[in-house]
Amino acid sequence: MVAKLILLFVGLPFLEMVILIKLGAEIGFGPTLLIVIGTGVLGAALARSQGLSIWLQIQQELQMGRMPAEQLVDGLLILVGGIVLLTPGLITDFLGLLLLIPVTRNLFKLWLWRKFDEMVQGGQSDITFFIR
């Protein structure tokens, strides 16, 4: 677990920096800066629209008396995508955009559901329901 965290917090920023330097050397500082800013602006607009859409779906599900579990997972993935877009770099921008696009977000959602099922089946997670 510690190795994964080191890789995430040291390796990923290093790789992002190398990619930005190489890209800047290839196409120049200005175009590289425009790409980074453009992905940020596109991501912010997408996060806003997708977040609003999911918020409305959550309200709709609650009004019908249903638990909006799938929409809450969508909301979490949109939040993570927006946060990842705040970090400078092309890898994180790409990952953030993938989390904001509904088709690719569904793939992440399926992966999360499977991972959660594996944890429950393997006894790594325990679900407790509190009834009032």
Q: Confirm whether 21 is domain-assigned.
A: yes
Tens digit of pLDDT for each residue in 43-98?
A: 889 999 999 999 999 999 999 999 998 899 999 999 999 999 888 889 999 999 99
Instruction: Name, in order, each residue with C-beta under 8 angstroms of 32's C-beta and a sequence gap of 6 or more.
Output: 20, 23, 24
pLDDT of residue 55: 95
Segments forming the whole domain that contains residue 21: 2-121
The DSSP secondary structure of 6-74, one letter per residue, reads HIIIIIHHHHHHHHHHHHHHHH-HHHHHHHHHHHHHHHHHHHHHHHHHHHHHHHHHHHTT---HHHHHH
Whether the predicted pLDDT of 131 surpasses 80: no
pLDDT of residue 125: 62
Average pLDDT estimate for 116-124: 79
Q: Confirm whether 26 is domain-assigned.
A: yes
Q: Confirm whether 104 is domain-assigned.
A: yes
Q: Confirm whether 126 is domain-assigned.
A: no
Question: Three-class SS of residue 128?
Answer: coil
